[in-house]
């Protein structure tokens, strides 16, 4: 179970995170408020939270508040919450044909779903010592241990089973807009796939009456039928509605339902997933990022648990809605689909589609729109286009080293990437700001995420040494500062993964106070608390053989959304921003910071 941290630990960790962001006077005030909270109302709330947690052993203390936070948010899901991960190309170039890849990936996705629902999907396990635990013999032994104690057997060899309670929402699920708070809807009985092309909506069954998957050649025939349909794009594409403010969209949806679209909307909501087929090839990485992060809203349904997007040249990616689950569930899905569709593809480029009557099997959905709905779509399009117009995405690759060299030098690769962001922001804007790094707590029942706070007194000291006072420090001193950052970052990461951060705990105490109708404690009204939660640098990392790159929008208007990957001998960065911040310059500063760090670790003297 996810532990509720001790209140005194949470307050200490919170103050440690505030220290680099505040001057002495501000810090003293924040410290006073924090200690008063710890002794007073905070203690009462904490005891109530612990009592509540003990009564709800089937779940975790964060589950309720976290779903609530996502589902009550009224901002559009696109760019604010939805993230993307794009697949690597199929290693066999001829298999990247759009129809071939769409068929193979759809088949693999259905296989994954059927395996999961039948209870045969291999458990998700984090192996700290894979030589001992990620072996056939261990799997054979653990299989016969009763499940009530099998997790303990896994712990003995440093293997940690991860929570998979989110997985059922991967399929046949959607987020339904409602006034004030959305709802998650899942219909596991539905057998059809939703396909979007050129703003038109199509559905066809991928599972037959007996629960078996359609033959791959039939799925291929139906997708070929959709790809060769030359119906014009709708004048009022419905997809734009899923990009709207949630309250606005809730009202428009009510109108849609009252206007005779109930059947069609049910098909959209209950579909296994949304396959979006785009009619253009990808130009470069930036174009790829724009396409997968937002694309053309006419050809997306952002409320579905995920959209599998495949462009004209077979480039594929997943855009996923975030309230139902986190990156770990989506990543497992992508890893399995990539492996299955490339190792054992269902069809080849030479395969002939089945001779079936696709015009009968494939239903094109028709939506009845009144003037209010047409006006709503037009307005949604204008708003969406303006937002996308103001979004910048910048990408850079650092080819001078990666994980291997850093591990040789005994420093954490993630700590070095995070230190580079701190140095870059200091060089560009002259300050240290609230920084967020996401960390999964899936090692616990119904765990979600915890925040690592990478801006520390150590990164601030090190960044200032590199950026402002280079001439004052020897190479050895700079090396020491880097190592200090790495050690402390390693500790923060370990604490977060073990459910010992402070963000979710404080968030839950605040949620509890508000749900009990109590006045908001002074601690939460501190400007410093608000500033710490205004995450100007929002960062997230992943590395997988299936994923080419990932990204997300900034979480605040004056922020950066930083997706990054640290590979064996290179690093990749994908940064989103709005006009008040310059993402291109931020990446140039990040590149310089990495060059400086690597040179210092190699014992070279660096010039300013």
**pLDDT tens digits, one per residue of 281-334:** 999 999 999 999 999 999 999 999 999 999 999 999 999 999 999 999 999 999
Q: Are 579 and 387 in contact (CB under 8 A)?
A: no
Q: 580 and 476: one domain? A: yes
pLDDT digits (tens, 9 = 90+) for 395-421: 999 999 999 999 999 999 999 999 999
Domain boundary among 334, 369, 390: 390
Separation between Cα atoms, residue 493 and residue 246, nearest integer Å: 34
For residue 380, being part of any structural domain is answered with: yes
Mark whether 226 and 371 lie in a shared domain: yes
Whether the predicted pLDDT of 590 surpasses 90: yes
User: What CA–CA distance (Å, rounded) separates 296 from 365?
Assistant: 19
Q: Among the residues of 24-79, which ranges form H helices?
A: 24-39, 41-55, 63-72
3-state secondary structure of 86: strand
Confirm whether 446 is domain-assigned: yes
- Ranges of beta strands (E only) in 167-301 are 173-176, 183-186, 192-197, 200-205, 274-277
Q: Are 220 and 99 in contact (CB under 8 A)?
A: yes
Return contacts of 402-410, CB within 8 angstroms, 24+ apart: 402/566, 402/567, 402/568, 402/569, 402/570, 402/571, 403/566, 403/567, 403/568, 403/569, 404/568, 404/569, 405/569, 405/598, 405/601, 406/601, 409/601, 410/483
- Is 358 part of any domain? yes
How many domains is the chain partitioned into structurally?
3
Q: Are residues 375 and 419 in the same domain?
A: no
Q: Name which of 2, 118, 131, 139 is nearest 60 in CA terms.
A: 2
CA angle, 43 then 47 then 51, to 5°: 170
322 assigned to active site: yes
In the numeric block, the tokens 């949470």 are attached to 10
Domain ranges, residue 141 = 125-161
∠ at Cα 296 (323, 360), nearest 5°?
A: 90
| Same domain flag for 571 and 497 | yes
538 in any annotated domain: yes
pLDDT for 140 beyond 90: no
Q: Are residues 193 and 150 in the same domain?
A: no
Q: Which one, of 54, 70, 147, 43, lies nearest residue 449 by Cα?
A: 70
Residue 164, CA distances (Å) to 186, 295, 326, 516 in order: 16, 30, 11, 31
Distance CA 275, CA 54 (A): 42
The pLDDT confidence band at residue 158, using thresholds 50, 70 and 90, is: confident
SS3 162: coil
- Mean per-residue pLDDT for 177-182? 98
The DSSP code sequence of 323-343 is: SS--HHHHHHHHHHHHHHHHH
Does residue 431 share a domain with residue 296? no
Q: What is the CATH number of the domain that holds 439?
A: 3.30.559.10
Tell me, what's the pLDDT at 467?
A: 97
Strands (E), 339-442: 363-364, 392-398, 435-440
Query: Can you tell me the mean pLDDT for 357-385?
Result: 98
pLDDT given at position 607: 76
Taking the CB of residue 323, how many other CB atoms lie within 10 A of it?
22
Q: Are 427 and 470 spatial neighbours (Cβ–Cβ below 8 Å)?
A: no
CB distance 601 to 426 below 8 Å = no
506: left (phi over 0), alpha (psi -120 to 50) or beta: alpha
Which whole number is the average pLDDT over 48-72?
Answer: 97
pLDDT digits (tens, 9 = 90+) for 231-271: 999 999 999 999 999 999 999 999 999 999 999 999 999 99
Residue 11 has pLDDT above 70, yes or no: yes
Q: Is residue 2 part of a domain?
A: no
Distance CA 289, CA 550 (A): 8
What is residue 89's predicted lDDT score, i.e. its pLDDT? 98
Active-site pick, 46, 225, 322, 505: 322
pLDDT of residue 126: 86
Do residue 111 and residue 41 come from a single domain? no
**Residue 131, domain CATH:** 1.20.1280.180
In a domain, 608, yes or no: no
**What percent of the chain has pLDDT above 90?**
93
Model-level pTM?
Answer: 0.97
Which tens digits make up the pLDDT trace of 77-132? 999 999 999 999 999 999 999 999 999 999 999 999 999 999 999 999 888 888 88
Is 188:195 a contact under the CB 8 Å cutoff? no
Residue 73, domain member (yes or no):
no
Whether 244 and 372 share a structural domain? yes
Same domain flag for 491 and 475: yes
| pLDDT tens digits along 529-549 | 999 999 999 999 998 999 999
- 151 and 54 fall within a common domain: no
Average pLDDT in the chain: 96
CB 543 within 8 A of CB 43: no
**Which of 390, 423, 448 lies at the terminal end of a domain, its last residue?**
390
Residue 608 has pLDDT above 70, yes or no: no
Alpha-carbon 421 to chain mean position:
19
- The CA distance from 159 to 152, in Å, is 9
Q: Read off the CATH number of the domain in which 374 is found.
A: 3.30.559.70
Distance CA 192, CA 366 (A): 16
Using DSSP's 3-state secondary structure scheme, residue 484 falls into helix
Reported confidence tier of residue 145, pLDDT bands at 50, 70, 90: confident
Q: Are 447 and 525 in the same domain?
A: yes
- Any domain includes 220: yes
Share of residues in the chain with pLDDT > 70 (%)? 100
Say yes or no to pLDDT of 553 above 70: yes
End of a domain among 339, 363, 390?
Answer: 390
Express each pLDDT in 475-514 by its tens digit: 999 999 999 999 999 999 999 999 999 999 999 999 999 9
pLDDT band at 367 (very low <50, low <70, confident <90, very high): very high
Q: Which of 180-184, 423-427, 602-606 has the lowest mean pLDDT?
A: 602-606
Question: Do 299 and 396 share a domain, yes or no?
Answer: no
Helix (H) or strand (E) segment spanning residue 160: strand 159-161
CA angle, 570 then 571 then 575, to 5° = 155
What DSSP designation does 2 have?
P
CA distance 370 to 385: 23
Question: Which residue is it, tokens 């694309």?
Answer: 295
């Amino acid at each position: 179970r996810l532990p509720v941290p001790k209140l005194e630990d949470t307050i200490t960790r919170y103050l440690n995170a505030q220290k680099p962001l505040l001057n002495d006077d501000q810090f003293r005030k924040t410290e006073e408020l924090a200690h008063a909270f710890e002794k007073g109302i905070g203690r009462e709330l904490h005891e109530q939270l612990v009592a509540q947690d003990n009564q709800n052993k089937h779940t975790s203390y964060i589950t309720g508040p976290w779903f609530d936070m996502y589902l009550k948010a009224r901002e559009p899901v696109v760019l604010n919450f939805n993230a993307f991960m794009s697949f690597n190309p199929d290693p066999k170039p001829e298999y990247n044909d759009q129809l071939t890849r769409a068929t193979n990936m759809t088949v693999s996705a259905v296989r994954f779903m059927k395996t999961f629902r039948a209870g045969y999907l291999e458990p998700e396990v984090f192996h700290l010592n894979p030589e001992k635990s990620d072996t056939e013999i261990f799997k054979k032994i653990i299989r016969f241990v009763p499940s009530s104690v099998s997790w303990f057997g896994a712990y003995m060899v440093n293997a940690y089973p991860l929570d998979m309670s989110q997985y059922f929402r991967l399929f046949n699920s959607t987020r339904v807009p409602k006034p004030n708070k959305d709802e998650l809807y899942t219909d596991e009985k539905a057998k059809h796939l939703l396909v979007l092309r050129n703003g038109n909506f199509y559905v066809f069954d991928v599972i037959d009456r007996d629960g078996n998957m359609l033959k791959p050649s039939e799925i291929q025939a139906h997708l070929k039928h959709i790809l060769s349909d030359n119906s014009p794009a709708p004048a009022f594409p419905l997809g734009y509605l899923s990009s709207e403010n949630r309250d606005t969209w809730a009202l428009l949806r009510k109108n849609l339902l009252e206007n005779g679209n109930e059947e069609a909307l049910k098909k959209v909501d209950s579909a296994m997933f949304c396959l979006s087929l785009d009619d253009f090839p990808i130009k470069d990485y930036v174009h790829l990022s724009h396409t997968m992060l937002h694309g053309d809203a006419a050809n997306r349904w952002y409320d579905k648990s995920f959209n599998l997007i495949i462009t004209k040249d077979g480039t594929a990616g997943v855009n996923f809605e975030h309230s139902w689950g986190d990156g770990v569930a989506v990543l497992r899905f992508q890893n399995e689909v990539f492996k299955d569709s490339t190792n054992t593809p269902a069809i080849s480029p030479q395969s002939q589609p089945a001779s079936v009557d696709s015009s009968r099997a494939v239903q094109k959905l028709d939506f009845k729109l009144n003037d209010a709905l047409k006006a709503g779509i037009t307005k949604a399009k204008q708003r969406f286009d303006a937002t996308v117009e103001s979004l910048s995405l910048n990408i850079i690759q650092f080819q001078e080293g990666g994980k291997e060299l850093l591990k040789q030098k005994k420093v954490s690769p993630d700590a070095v990437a995070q230190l580079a962001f701190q140095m870059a922001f200091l060089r560009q804007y002259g300050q240290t700001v609230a920084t967020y790094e996401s960390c999964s707590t899936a090692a616990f029942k119904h765990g979600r995420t915890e925040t690592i706070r990478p801006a520390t007194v150590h990164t601030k000291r090190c960044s200032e040494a590199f950026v402002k006072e280079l001439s004052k420090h020897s190479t050895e001193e700079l090396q020491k500062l880097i190592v200090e950052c790495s050690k402390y970052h390693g500790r923060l990461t370990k604490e977060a993964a073990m459910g010992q951060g402070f963000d979710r705990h404080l968030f839950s105490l605040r949620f509890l106070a508000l749900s009990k109708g109590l006045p908001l404690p002074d601690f939460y009204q501190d400007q410093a608390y608000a500033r710490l939660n205004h995450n100007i640098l929002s960062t997230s990392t992943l590395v997988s053989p299936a994923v080419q790159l990932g990204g997300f929008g900034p979480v605040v208007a004056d922020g950066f959304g930083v997706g990054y990957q640290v590979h064996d001998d290179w690093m990749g960065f994908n940064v989103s921003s709005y006009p008040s911040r310059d993402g291109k310059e931020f990446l140039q500063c990040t590149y310089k910071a990495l060059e400086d760090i690597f040179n210092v670790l190699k014992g070279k003297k660096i010039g300013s």
